[in-house]
Amino acid sequence: MPQLTIDVPETLMPLLTRKAEGVRETPEEFIVSYLSVNLEHDGHDSAQGMMSAERERLEDILEERDKGPFVPVPEDLVERVMEKAMARIHGRKAHV
């Protein structure tokens, strides 16, 4: 595979690292992905292209989860949670 060396300014590295972490890639992988999307969609907004792919992937996940199975929620869930929370609050006040 051909290699290309790029000198990236130190001030740009934190932004590049954050962007790469956002899509679970290394900075190098992010640059390659960014360039490929940009070159494929020359004349289009490359960020929009990446966002639409991410949005489409999220929609697929949500559609799949919307099919179920769903876990039944007990009717007294709120009361049980509040009871445990209040017990914890009162327990901490006693130790203070």
User: Is residue 90 a part of any domain in this protein?
Assistant: no
In angstroms, the CA 89 to CA 71 distance is 29
Q: What is the mean pLDDT of residues 55-63?
A: 89
- Average pLDDT on 61-74 reads 87
pLDDT band at 95 (very low <50, low <70, confident <90, very high): very low
How many domains is the chain partitioned into structurally?
1
Considering only CA atoms, give the Rg of the chain. 24
SS3 content of the chain, % helix, strand, coil (to 5): 65, 0, 35
List CB contacts of 69: < 8 A, sequence separation 6 or more.
none
The answer to whether residue 1 is domain-embedded is yes
Query: Does residue 84 lie within any of the structural domains?
Result: no
- The answer, yes or no, to whether the previous bond of 14 is cis (omega within 30 of 0) is no
Q: With respect to residue 3, please indicate whether it lies within any of the assigned structural domains.
A: yes
pLDDT at position 60 over 60: yes
Q: Is residue 53 part of a domain?
A: yes
In a domain, 32, yes or no: yes
Find where tokens 């799949």 sit.
64
Judge whether 58 lies within some domain.
Answer: yes
**Domain of residue 8, residue span:** 1-70
- 43 assigned to some structural domain: yes
DSSP assignment letter at 53: H
